[in-house]
Chain A
């Protein structure tokens, strides 16, 4: 019964939830539609006509809502209770019209842009409003006839047509590009939603075949077709731009550059025409090659009337010769430098007489202006100065600078100056240096200077006689700087001028220095120092060992990028500003290009560091994975005998656990195991062994403890029982060819001397712990005569596995002697080492104490039946043999070989 109650409660709860959900759904539905149920069908309470909801903008739209009879009965409503809403906004009653008892209409005159839900609602008893039906009204326009249909065929691509779709339709309108040949139709090209005014056809164009193309536009309000256009695709082609191959100068003619290019392979089928433009590198406007000169297919053109030694930039485009189609894009720009020409003008030339103390001579400084680039027509290599005294030989000087100081007599001289570049010399400037006593007879008068238009004008009255030329000299009067004279030359016909040459050059600096480029920047020269209109700048830059390179820059620029620089190189750069009258150099600036580009070092260092880190990480992971192997080879576990089975074995006592560091056999209890294997036939022992054997035989040592063989060594890994013997008790077993001795000394645990110590030999060959098999684990602890305070000793037994041959002639006693002697010998050899070891091996100290109680154990030896091992401890407190190396004895100790009996 309780179960049933629970079930009922659960069902009630479930139904309650269901009911709640159902109520919610019903309520939600009822908001929109009041329905009547007929079986399982949902029938709307009313309908709106028309169902189509797309209305043309500006038109009148009328909708009629017709109520169902049953609905009217259920809710007691008629058409008079109908009201309309667009969205949530009620439509004014003025727009309603009750047609009959069941139908009401609403009219929207001159409908505007709308996209809303039109609902038919009823107002029931109690002013309860219900929506009974709804339609979505969308207004828009039918598509206009697409206009301006045009197509373009980009060479190597498919034809794309575009059109003007006309007015906005506000509706989803599909545009379809249709095309056909006279012989067949092509697939329609439907414009994408995001690009409704163009479409790219799927098929490759076929030139020289007329194609007819038109566009159809269609939406919910209509469909319209554009005019058809019929054309040959070749007349709509836009070719790929030509590729300029070279711009070559001519040594013979410094005013031309020959442009060669390759263009479309299509040119074998159609005739092309070209459009070639060029400009100087620092100019911004393009010059045009006359179109009539490039109106046929060609692959080169020589541009003329260019300035010498000037870099020009070219670009070219092409199209079909008859003008049908489209110009190609411009080609990549290409540049070339016209060849040098001889300087077109003689440099302005003047002199200055400097004071000289020598009698009869004068020091004359000849000076001249550098030619601006447009007159130098190349790089000026040097200047040639000729000085001719009246009726005398002339003196020639070749100067790279713009001044020359010479000592002349007081006579009259005629100096000539020519500038030379790679091609030739300029005309000569001629200057007469009058005799020292010459006096000008016709000086100018009324010299005046006045500022005007931000320049300093100079005006004078010319003499009556004809004048070849004037030279104006001036200097800036300043408290900060001395008067540095400057000068300029004017024609003999003028009598007014302004000071034109810049008084100083621009100061250039680097804005950014890259590995192979440097961005230079400078400030405009102040007007006060321009002395005229700056026509252009020239940037001179050079390396320490390289030639100087000059670049002309338009005067409007304040920045220039030097490219093709060499990395990690020192550059010297200076700028000159030029007016029509000459130029002036600015100070030289030095910069060094870096060895690496920005980010280059990071690009090298970061991967290297990552690689290093990765390698280190992998190494650590490798070491971690192989830690056992590494530990085995580098710092193997030194076995803790206290944890060996033998050590832990104690008759009648629970296994003990030693902490070699904390608990060093405080009670002198110990258990130790040692194994010695000695060849039974020791007639011909190895020299070392022989020696030790003899030594041992000469000494009589009282053995205090038991010596016994436990198991076999790893070399001897035999299941044969080893033979145990002692001085007091000879074993009857002498069949073994190899005698294995071990010492098991047990003195009880924590002063708990076992009453009976019986050891039996197990036949098992199972080794002890791995560590116990290691030769270094084989240790003997000296019993140091029971005296306290004497260092304990460890014992390592040497084993010669190759001497395992046995001699049946040797008695057990002899064998025992041999064993004892060997043990003693080894003890002697190792004593010295062990003494030092004891300091760091307190564990050994514990063993020593264990040995002190051996006699008690020994007392049980004779009573052991069967394979009784001999327990032997060897006390060697004085013997020292430093030369004996430590030996390691692989050993198999039979686990559990001795059971307490």
Chain B
């Protein structure tokens, strides 16, 4: 077949293109996050698959659900919060993958999804940071990620059920934050799909 022009894109061509690309990534990861949560629940057994199951939405380490007032904040501020949450997610996803490796060693697709999710959310976080930088709004410096992961790991060591609940919570948070990021980037790139 006739390959198209093999033009190598420059790292940050234009702001608009970068926003659009990041927005597309957030949309893609939202889809992936839905699939991950679904796959996760399938492998945990009851009561995770039951309709009424809703464990307490406790904060995991330093990461919590998007605040109710999140939508009212200026976009750069929202993106800063998004970037902070996205930065906290990879070590948590790694912890969940490690725990699931012990609980469900044969759930290879779930484990692969968790591994991919950690990598992808890092990429999304970096892309959001890049957008923030392009917008002139710097993010808030380094974050204490390892500590959060250690807390999560200690929580998980309490038992099988808490470990499953932790994973459920992390996957839920992953979905919420990438979804939130998508929405926030959508404010900057109203053009729709790239």
Contacts and interface: CB of A to CB of B under 8 A. Distances in A.
A230 interface: yes
B24 to A, nearest CB: 4
A302 interface: no
A99 B119 CA distance: 64
Given A232-B21, A270-B193, A324 B5 contact: yes
By DSSP majority rule, is chain B's interface helix, strand, loop, or mixed?
Answer: helix
Contacts of B25: 206-209
B28 A326 contact: no
A319 B123 CA distance: 25
B2 A231 contact: no
A589 interface: no
A211 to B, nearest CB: 9
Contacts of B179: none
Contacts of A327: 1-2, 4
A269 B4 contact: no
A183 B122 contact: yes
Interface in A221-275: 229-232, 234-235, 238, 268-271
A183 B21 contact: no
Nearest to A182: B126
A204 interface: yes
Contacts of B8: 229-231
Given A183-B122, A206-B119, A269-B193, A326 B24 contact: no
Contacts of A319: 4
Interface in B119-159: 119-120, 122-127, 130
A488 to B, nearest CB: 49
B28 A208 contact: yes
A612 interface: no
A326 B21 contact: no
Interface in B12-32: 21-22, 24-25, 27-28
B193 A324 contact: no
Contact of A329 (B1, B7, B119, B194): B1
A269 B123 contact: no
A184 interface: yes
B1 A209 contact: no
A150 interface: yes
B9 interface: yes
A269 B10 contact: no
A326 B1 contact: yes
Nearest to B20: A208
Interface in A53-76: none
B3 interface: yes
B179 to A, nearest CB: 15
Nearest to A268: B193
B190 to A, nearest CB: 15
B11 interface: yes
Interface string B108-121: 00000000100110
Interface string A176-196: 000001111000000000000
Given A230-B10, A269-B27, A323 B194 contact: no
Contacts of B102: none
A269 to B, nearest CB: 6
B46 interface: no
B9 A232 contact: yes
A318 to B, nearest CB: 12
A150 B27 CA distance: 27
A208 B24 contact: yes
By DSSP majority rule, is chain A's interface helix, strand, loop, or mixed?
Answer: loop
B7 A324 contact: yes
Interface string B58-86: 00000000000000000000000000000
A183 B24 contact: no
- Bin chain A's interface residue count: 20 to 34
Contacts of A203: 119
A102 interface: no
A739 to B, nearest CB: 85
Nearest to B194: A270
Contacts, number: 79
B193 A183 contact: no
Give the most central of B7, B120, B123: most A CB within 10 Å.
B123
Contacts of B124: 209
B9 A230 contact: yes
Contacts of A229: 8
A712 interface: no
Given A183-B126, A230-B10, A326 B4 contact: yes
Given A324-B5, A326-B3, A206 B120 contact: yes
Given A150-B3, A232-B9, A207 B28 contact: yes
B115 to A, nearest CB: 9
A238 B120 CA distance: 21
B123 A183 contact: yes
Nearest to A211: B123
A392 B107 CA distance: 92
A130 to B, nearest CB: 61
A325 B194 CA distance: 14
Interface in A155-192: 181-184
A567 interface: no
Contact of A209 (B27, B127, B193, B194): B127
Contacts of A771: none
B1 A269 contact: no
A183 B3 CA distance: 29
Interface string A21-39: 0000000000000000000
Contacts of A208: 21-22, 24-25, 28, 127, 194
A319 B1 CA distance: 12
Contacts of A204: 116
Contacts of A232: 9, 21
Nearest to B23: A208
A219 interface: no
A150 B6 CA distance: 7
Given A268-B193, A271-B193, A181 B9 contact: no
A210 interface: yes
Contacts of B116: 204, 206
B119 A269 contact: no
B28 A269 contact: yes
Contacts of B193: 268-271
Nearest to B18: A210
A203 B112 CA distance: 10
Nearest to B1: A327
Contacts of A184: 119, 122
Contacts of A230: 8-11
Contacts of A325: 4
A683 to B, nearest CB: 89
Nearest to B25: A208
Interface string B162-180: 0000000000000000000
Interface string A122-151: 000000000000000000000000000010
A206 B122 CA distance: 11
Nearest to A236: B6
B39 to A, nearest CB: 15
Interface in A516-556: none
Interface string A313-337: 0000001000111110100000000
Interface of B: 1-11, 21-22, 24-25, 27-28, 116, 119-120, 122-127, 130, 193-194
Closest 10 CB pairs of A and B: A208-B25, A209-B123, A229-B8, A208-B24, A183-B126, A150-B6, A183-B122, A327-B1, A208-B21, A231-B9
28 contacts: A182-B11, A182-B126, A183-B122, A183-B125, A184-B119, A184-B122, A203-B119, A206-B25, A207-B24, A208-B21, A208-B22, A208-B25, A209-B25, A209-B127, A210-B9, A230-B8, A230-B9, A232-B21, A234-B194, A269-B24, A269-B193, A270-B24, A271-B193, A319-B4, A324-B4, A325-B4, A326-B3, A329-B1
Given A230-B9, A270-B193, A329-B1, 14 more contacts: A152-B3, A182-B11, A203-B119, A207-B28, A208-B127, A208-B194, A209-B123, A210-B11, A234-B24, A235-B9, A269-B24, A269-B27, A326-B4, A327-B4
